[in-house]
């Protein structure tokens, strides 16, 4: 499992998206359209984000979380050597937990129950210095 290789030190992110031409061996993010799922952090503590069409038909970026009450506690998840994102406690996953979310997305292009989505405001700075 690739998510288990994330160490939060040198390996920070993993992303998948649909490739339009399954016979091409070279695929770039521009080839994949609007939808993707990505994880950042380490195998012990990572955040999962997904880009999906919203109710308005436009694509939106969401953080995936558990459907449990948010107590306000946050965790800083590294996304590079110098930057990190802050997420709520219900939005922190292990690699094994994230793998289930990734597998469901791979099969369905969606995030299934019992997970909830929190839309990210892309007009705001989403990361901070580590």
Question: How many residues in total does the chain contain?
Answer: 130
The answer to whether residue 129 is domain-embedded is: no
The answer to whether residue 127 is domain-embedded is: no
Are 110 and 58 in contact by the 8 Å Cβ rule? The answer is no
pLDDT digits (tens, 9 = 90+) for 22-80: 666 666 656 656 789 999 999 999 999 999 988 888 889 999 999 987 788 999 999 99
How many structural domains are present in the chain? Answer: 1
The answer to whether residue 16 is domain-embedded is: yes
The parent domain of residue 66 ranges over 2-122
For the entire predicted model, the pTM comes to 0.84
The answer to whether residue 130 is domain-embedded is: no
The answer to whether residue 128 is domain-embedded is: no
Query: What stretch of H or E contains 122?
Result: none
Q: State residue 33's pLDDT score.
A: 63
């Amino acid at each position: 499992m690739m998510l288990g290789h994330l160490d939060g030190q040198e390996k920070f992110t993993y992303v998948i998206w649909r490739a339009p031409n399954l016979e091409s061996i070279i695929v770039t993010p521009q080839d994949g359209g609007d939808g993707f799922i990505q994880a950042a952090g380490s195998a012990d503590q990572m955040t999962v984000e997904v880009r999906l069409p919203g109710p308005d038909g436009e694509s939106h970026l969401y953080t995936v979380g558990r459907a449990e009450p948010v107590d306000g506690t946050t965790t800083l998840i590294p996304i590079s050597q110098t930057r990190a994102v802050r997420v709520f406690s219900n939005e922190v996953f292990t690699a094994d937990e994230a793998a289930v979310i990734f597998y469901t997305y791979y099969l369905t292009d969606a995030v299934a129950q019992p997970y909830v989505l929190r839309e990210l405001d892309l007009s705001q700075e989403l990361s901070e210095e580590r």
